[in-house]
Amino acid sequence: MMTLESFEEAAEKVKEVTLPTNLIYSDYFSEMSGNKVYLKPENLQNTGAYKVRGAYYKASTLTEEELAHGLITASAGNHAQGVANAAKLFGTKAVIVMPTTTPLIKVNRTRSYGAEVVLYGGVYDESYQKALEIAEERKMTFVHPFNDLAVATGQGSIAMEIFKELPTVDIILVPIGGGGLAAGVSTLAKMLNPNIQVIGVEPANAACMKASLKAGKVVSLPSAVTIADGTAVKTPGDIVFPYIQKNLDDIITVEDEELIVNFLDVVENHKMVVENSGLLTVAALKHLNCKDKRVVSILSGGNMDIITMSSVVQHGLIERGRVFTVSVQLPDRPGELVNVANVIAQLKGNVIRLEHNQFVSINRNAAVELKITLEAFGHEHKQQIVDALKEKGYDPKLENPTSLY
């Protein structure tokens, strides 16, 4: 069982491996939500996520003989690095089974901690089964990413740190994948203050915990397709589920589109990179039905590859109306391009790219297509530019940019 004593032990133990992630008060999100919002930046850990807490505490509970045989897990993400780092710190070996589709950068990061990486299976479930086979063959200890009470206790150390810094906290928002983090945080939080609200946040397309709570038992989703890949879990943990049932007050679900714009918000206002799963609790702020409460959003991780980051930034700028493409048709005669450019310049629009297509019509005097991709200050500024083009006699049509460059 998860007890206050085990949480206190875990909170002290993880100090050996974690960096201090002091709460950050957010003026931006406080004003936006009408609450006093604090961020718990676990994305700043050495491994880029909170996962090292559970892995390290789990390892500390093992016997010398168990440690000598090593640790094993299946993961394509943050848990892989957490277990690999924990094994390195305890001076034992680690085997991490990863799907063959895992990006090379994640494979190399895991290997950098000295772990043996086994690439097996196209999806996590196949890697998981392979890891269990290897664990039995080599007598290694399998460290489950979420369905383990020692792991959940280690993750719960986050709540201890929150209370020490902000004893008057009213609400803690915690992301949910399989439920280990939420079980640990909510259980300890209720021990320390039964009146606190702990609210889980899941991607709308991977809300396995919400479905399970509604059913009163663990259920599996047919799919879990979301850009929040760290929480893309079809079946929550049955061992941690009773703790969730008892201690979690509610679950908020968030659409992927909300995560995209919140990535920009965190980068621009707090100069931090937070992965999509870590942004769930930030996106949930708009869904809170309260004001003037002290709210802590746990940012669970910041491991995002550059290609994904580039895509999220581009889509976020489009969603916010800060990048858009407009097409107009104009006669093919000298000066027409300058006329359009002047309209845009007068309203301080910044042209990123032009496409001038003379062959959109056989009648070049009637219709040459000009596509312009622009930077704007937001939706209002974007509309001002479109309206100005209309006033000058053009017929602007908005399109989604295919690329910023």
6-33 pLDDT per residue, tens: 999 999 999 999 999 999 999 999 999 9
The closest alpha carbon to 2, from 88, 64, 61, belongs to: 61
Please check the confidence at residue 364 and state whether its pLDDT lies above 60. Answer: no
Active site residue 40: no
SS3 189: helix
pLDDT at 404 over 60: no
The closest of 402, 241, 226 to 315, measured between CA atoms, is 402
Give the strand pairing for 71-74 and 141-142.
parallel
Whole-number CA gyration radius for the chain: 25
pLDDT of the residue at 334: 81
- The verdict on whether 51 is a catalytic residue reads yes
pLDDT band at 249 (very low <50, low <70, confident <90, very high): very high
Give dist(CA 389, CA 325) in Å, integer. Answer: 13
Topology classification of domain 4-50+152-316: Rossmann fold (3.40.50)
Q: Smallest Cα–Cα separation from 329: which of 403, 399, 397, 402?
A: 397
| 176 has pLDDT over 60 | yes
Strand arrangement, sheet containing 116-119: 116-119, 94-98, 71-74, 141-142
Is 321-399 in CATH node 3.30.70.260? yes
Catalytic residue among 210, 300, 371, 382: 300
Task: pLDDT band for 149, please (50, 70, 90 cuts).
Answer: very high
In the chain, the percentage of residues whose pLDDT exceeds 70 is: 97
Residue keyed to tokens 């394509």: 76
Domain with CATH 3.40.50.1100 in the chain: 4-50+152-316, 52-142
pLDDT in tens, 58-88: 999 999 999 999 999 998 789 999 999 999 9
Q: Which of the four pLDDT bands, split at 50, 70 and 90, describes residue 310? A: confident
Q: Reply yes or no on domain 52-142 having CATH 3.30.70.920.
A: no
The fraction of the chain above a pLDDT of 90, given in percent, is 75
- Summarised one tens digit per residue, pLDDT across range 108-134 is 989 999 999 999 988 787 899 999 999
pLDDT of residue 395: 87
Query: How much is the pLDDT for 402?
Result: 60
**Residue located via tokens 């094994």:** 87
Stretch 289-306: mean pLDDT, rounded? Answer: 94
Instruction: Find the mean pLDDT for residues 184-209.
Output: 97
Mean pLDDT, to the nearest integer, of 346-353? 92
From the candidates 51, 93, 130, 382, give the one annotated as an active-site residue.
51
Residue with tokens 């083009």: 389
Query: How many other CB atoms sit within 10 Å of the CB of residue 50?
Result: 30
Instruction: Tell me what the mean pLDDT of segment 316-334 comes to.
Output: 87
Cα torsion 132, 134, 135, 139: sign:
positive
Report residue 403's pLDDT band, with 50, 70 and 90 as the boundaries. low
pLDDT for residue 360: 61
